[in-house]
Each structure stands twice: as C-alpha cells, then as structure tokens.
Amino acid sequence: MVRRSESAQSALTIGKPFMNTRRFRGVLPGWTLALGLAAALVSPAQAEETLRIAMTAADIPTTTGMPNNGWEGMRFLGYPIFEGLVLWDLSHSDRLATIRPGLAESWEQAKSDKRTWIFHLRRGVKFHDGTDFNADAVIWNLDRYFKKESPQFEAGAAGITRARVPLLASYKKIDDNIVALTTTAPTSYFPLMVVYVLFTSPASFEKAGHDWARVATLPAAGTGPFRITRITPRQSVRLARWDGYWDAGHKAKVDSILLRPIPEANTRLAALRSGQVDWIEVPPPDGVPSLKAAGFTISTNSYPHVWPWMYNMGAPNSPFKDVRVRQALNYCVDRPAIVSLLNGTAEPAVGWLKPNDPAFGKPANRYSFDPAKGKALLAEAGYTAQKPLSFKVMISNSGSGQMLPLPMNEQLQQNLKQACGVDVKFDVVEWQVLSSTARLAPDNPGLHGAMAVNPSSATTDIGLMARYFAAANATPAGNNFEHWKDDRFEAALDTAAKATDPAMILASYRAAHERLVDNPPWLYVVHDLNPRAMNKKVHGFVPAQSWLLDLTLVSMH
C-alpha cells in the first residue's frame, strides 16, 4: 500500500499559508479568522486585477531563472518571467504547439559546418532591471550552465539545463547581436532543445553579491511579460505585468498573478470553491461534475504528455533487462479503468506518443488489457504464480503533471496483482525528490532499490525523444534513466538528426517511435487531458497543446 508522506498530510490545512497565529491568538476564533481572511482575498479590486493560481507543486519552484519542479516550474516560473532564444507558440488549442522566434529573431545552420547554429539576437531588449540583453548576456548565462569554473556557475540550474540540452559542445560570441552554438554532431532538431535555455540578467547576480540564494529572493530579472515582485518561501510568489515588454503583441492583460503551491487535490478544490484562488491545476476528477454544476469552467485538451513507469533496466539483477517482462506489464495494465478513475480526464497510452500522432508509426505490439498474454510473457521470462515478479516503484504524492499519483498507483498495484500476479511496493517521496532521483545512475543508493520511477513526461517532439532515450544520454549525464539502448532506434534518430527534408525527418521519427513501443523502456499508462478548473472571472485562456501556456492571453473581469 502507499505510504503517505508527512508533507502530503500537512498540506491538508487550506488556510495555513495565510495564518499568523501569534498575531491573532486570543483575538478571534479560528473559523472567524479564516472567513475574514478569505473575504479579504476576494475583494473586488483584487479580483479585477490579480489572477490567483493553485499549482500542484509541493513548494515554490526556484526563482533564479531556471526553475525546478519539472514542467510545472517552467509553466509558471519559467517562461512568464525568463525567456529563451526560441519560444513556443502557445496561442492555439487545435494543433500541437510549434516554436517561434524569441530573444533570437532568426537562426540557421552554418553553411560550412552543420554542427553550428547561428542565432541573430533581437535588438533593443531589456531585462526587468533595465540592463541590456545582448550576446554578452547570452554567453554569461551559458557559462552559468555549462562552465563549472565560471563565477556564476549554478549547480542546480546547470543540472536541469545540461539534461535538456545534452548535445551542446561549445558556444561563442560573433558580435554584440550574434552568437554561435555548436553541437556534438549535426542535429536538425537542435532549436527544439534551445527553447529550454532561459536567460537571467547578469546584474541580478552582481547585485546579490555573487550568491544565487540571494538572487532567488531579490528577485531575479528576466525579459518576459511578467516580473517577480514578491516571494514568500513555501507559500506564494507574486508576479506583476511588465509594461516594458519587448513584444507589444504579447503584453499581459492582468495586473498581477499570485502563485500558490497546494499539492493535495481536494485542498485545491476547497480553495477554489471558497474563493481563495481563481484557478486550480488538476481538480480531483470526482469533483468535476459538481464544479460544472456550480458554474466553474473546466478546461481540458489533448496535449503531448504521458504518465508512465520508467523501468530501471540498468540496475544489477533488474527484472526489466528482459524485454518480455517490459512488454508483459504493458499487456497487464487495465488502462480504461485508470481513465474511469480519472473521470474521463485522460486517455489510454500505448506508446510514448498518442496513436493519432503522425509519428506513432505501425509497431508490432498494440497494447491492450490482455492478462493472458501478459502472464504468458512473464512465464517465458521465468515468473509464475510460484515465483511472482516483485519490485518497488518510487512515486510522488503530487507534482508537475502527476495528476493523482496516489490513487492511480494504488489502482495499478491492485490491477497488476489481480490480473498477472505481480507484487508491487511503493516508495513515496515529494515531486522534486522524484524528479531529481530520475537523473541518478541505476544503482545509486538514492533510488532505495526502486526498479521503476513514476515522473510524467512531455512528449513534444523528436528533440525531447532524443533526450529521454538516446543511449548517449544515459543518467547521470542525461535523461535516459532506463539505460535503454536499441540499435534500430539509434539508427533512426541519427538519420533524423542529419536530414534536412521534413518528410525524411518524420519517417525517421516514426521508425524510432515504433522501437519505443516494441522494445518498451517504459510502462505506458495514460495521456492526461491537462484538466484545470477556473471561476467565471477568468477569460481568454487558451489550452495549448503543450505542457506550457500563455498567461498573457488571460484577463479577469
């Protein structure tokens, strides 16, 4: 059974972040105080100007310009404040998000060397502190991530960025408005990796006395449509519209945004119903019908994201070294039951990509709930009722893209036992711990003997596929936690990287994905539909087909 962490239990007190018991002790009864504070939080003036969002994170993502807490960190404390040379176009809900020019107006592969990409920087851009964004700022930030001996090197941010841009070999300034980035090999999809490198003002580091911990509380300056104005550790972050934003067509409509970490789903629901927040990420599925009946807006949309178990194939004596075991579990899972548990806010996953994705391909295996086939494969691998497969999975109590990990994993645990006789135990940790653990070597003691981990994953593009599954990106250097290697996958990825013809890139992408299904490094469970709930005052939100979103489109009235 799932062991609930102390943090999951302590998160159940809705009003806790707003209480100051020493100040009010003996003055008002607790329930009167809570009502008074709730009323203050929804005053008409604030409701018109401030959008209040409850995140699933257990804590505030880091605020130095490269947030942790996975993709939710990037969603709320990444792009709204700090930007990259390349940005996502998040203005549409009817198609997959694509990239667009950001702090670079344009880019191209160098004619003399296909490993080198030339980025032409946007002129006249200012950081929130009034200093210039230019080539020197780009190089300074790249040194922060990739040059360990630089004074500004930031270990936490470097670990995140290096894992997301594993192919960067070198970089240099051409002039004040042009930089060159060189990869380890020709890579057609490199701009899809550059999109994850964010830029912070070098002046923030100087102002903080070369101390990144102090930079986090200054707060740090970016170039985005919002700036950070106040940080209350473990409670909230306030963003304000940046009226000096360089892109006049993407200036924010709301005056400010208040971000609150509330990891427990029912607590988020109560916060929305009581008026403490205007918007919650991932409402509890059983609360969706009543929210709709009460007039709240429920937003869902198909988007590139999957909720899996990632097999630890590299650990000594791992049962998942055998492909039959990995395939077997994919046949043992009752995915429609998980979708039902989530009240239809997800759809079955039978691969890294969705079956309707142009790059899904035609794999030999089309996973369905087939316990007989699953048990037969397990028996071939030596696991029977007399010798059942048994292993531990590290999971989180909440977090970025995790939906409802505790009940979902409990159902998977029961499902695998009943359908195929598989015994599963859980090690429950906070999301950030899980995210960091998924970048460890397979035999690292920090895994506590786990043979699988359960962080969700964006499935945006072939660049992300390369990050997660290329053999060269095995942990701890990259994101290939499984230490999976498939020669046919490697060949397809190499062809796509060297190609310039879009049709050839797509064909290779498709061939690579077929190997992810037939030689699965993951147990594919569901693709969620990115559910969130909002009150009637929130307008203009576009549920992009991306893990990210454009907060500049949202208004309050």
pLDDT surpassing 90 at residue 168: yes
pTM of the model: 0.84
pLDDT digit string (tens) for 474-531? 998 889 999 999 999 999 999 999 998 999 999 999 999 999 999 999 999 999 999 9
pLDDT surpassing 80 at residue 23: no
CA within 13 Å, CB half, 58:
19
Q: How many CB atoms are closer than 10 A to CB 423?
A: 12
Tokens of 463: 């660049």
Which residues have a Cβ under 8 Å from the Cβ of 373 and sit 6 or more positions away? 328, 331
CB-based burial label for 502 (10 Å; 0-12, 13-18, 19+): exposed
Distance of alpha carbon 255 from alpha carbon 240, whole angstroms: 6
User: Same domain, yes or no, for 391 and 502?
Assistant: yes
pLDDT of residue 24: 28
Q: How many CB atoms are closer than 10 A to CB 500?
A: 10
User: Same domain, yes or no, for 350 and 479?
Assistant: yes
Average pLDDT of the residues in 416-426 = 98
Instruction: Find the CATH number of the domain harbouring 166.
Output: 3.90.76.10
pLDDT of residue 399: 80
Average pLDDT of the residues in 277-288 = 94
455 pLDDT band, cuts 50/70/90, is very high
Specify if 29 maps to a domain: no
Which residues have a Cβ under 8 Å from the Cβ of 25 and sit 6 or more positions away? none
Q: How far is CA 34 from CA 17, 245, 401, in A?
A: 11, 38, 30
pLDDT surpassing 70 at residue 35: no
Distance of alpha carbon 339 from alpha carbon 323, whole angstroms: 26
Of the candidate ranges 2-16, 313-327, 368-382, the one whose mean pLDDT is the lowest: 2-16
User: Same domain, yes or no, for 392 and 517?
Assistant: yes
Query: Domain boundary at 174, 205, 236, which?
Result: 205
Instruction: Find the CATH number of the domain harbouring 508.
Output: 3.10.105.10
70 pLDDT band, cuts 50/70/90, is confident
Q: pLDDT above 90 covers what percent of the chain?
A: 85
Determine the angle formed by the axes of helices 502-518 and 487-498, rounding to 10 degrees. 160
Residue type at 373 in one-letter notation: K
Helix, strand or coil, per DSSP, at residue 168: strand
Q: What is the CA radius of gyration of the chain?
A: 24
Average pLDDT of the residues in 459-485 = 93
30 pLDDT band, cuts 50/70/90, is very low
- Average predicted confidence (pLDDT) for the chain: 90
Specify if 153 maps to a domain: yes
Give 89's strand partners: 98
Say if residues 498 and 188 touch (Cβ distance below 8 Å).
yes
Average pLDDT of the residues in 299-318 = 95
Specify if 448 maps to a domain: yes
Specify if 268 maps to a domain: no
pLDDT of residue 101: 98
pLDDT digit string (tens) for 522-555? 999 999 999 999 999 999 999 999 999 999 999 9
pLDDT of residue 431: 86
Query: Domain boundary at 205, 236, 270, which?
Result: 205
* Structural domains in the chain (count): 2
pLDDT of residue 432: 85
pLDDT of residue 321: 98
pLDDT surpassing 60 at residue 32: no
6 pLDDT band, cuts 50/70/90, is very low
Specify if 76 maps to a domain: no
Query: Domain boundary at 150, 180, 205, which?
Result: 205
Q: How many CB atoms are closer than 10 A to CB 447?
A: 21
Specify if 520 maps to a domain: yes
Tokens of 291: 């929210």
pLDDT of residue 258: 98
pLDDT of residue 38: 43
Specify if 42 maps to a domain: no
User: Same domain, yes or no, for 197 and 341?
Assistant: no
Among residues 165, 139, 164, 163, which one has the least CA distance to residue 152?
A: 139
pLDDT surpassing 80 at residue 2: no
Distance of alpha carbon 547 from alpha carbon 72, whole angstroms: 8
Which residues have a Cβ under 8 Å from the Cβ of 206 and sit 6 or more positions away? none
Domain holding 132, by residue range, is: 86-205
pLDDT of residue 14: 30
Average pLDDT of the residues in 57-64 = 92
Specify if 419 maps to a domain: yes
pLDDT surpassing 80 at residue 25: no
